[in-house]
Structure 1
Amino acid sequence: MASRLSAAFNATAGFWLHVPANFYLAQARKRVDIKQAQVFWQPQADFDDFPNLITIPKPDTI
């Protein structure tokens, strides 16, 4: 069905496969209060560490 919809509406089959999931996620976001959710995991890496992990050559050395 997704391949037929993709041909008829000029979109990818992946788009049509994700439409129901996005709909159900939007409905859940309306109904669930995330302020009451308990955090079980925190990422260990800080976003400030990422520039040190990746070296990008400067334009003059390319």
Structure 2
Amino acid sequence: TIVVQVNGKVRGQLNLPHNSTEQAVLEQVQKDAKLQTYLAVRTVRKTIYIPNRLISFVV
């Protein structure tokens, strides 16, 4: 399970295989309609990925 944060707030979780790459996690975030509502409004300035734990977006 990978936690998804937007501007420091938890906005969702993704169930992905252990050792998923950052690219694979980003693809799943783009497919998730709930997460897209937070990311589509503005441009993402920074992405922080901690393997097997967290992906955080600063918008």
TM above 0.5, yes or no, is no
Give 1 or 2 for the bigger CA radius of gyration. Answer: 1
TM-score by length of 2: 0.24
Q: Which has the higher helix share?
A: 1
Q: Which has the higher strand share?
A: 2
TM-score by length of 1: 0.23
Q: Which has the higher contact order (CA 8 A, sep 6+)?
A: 2
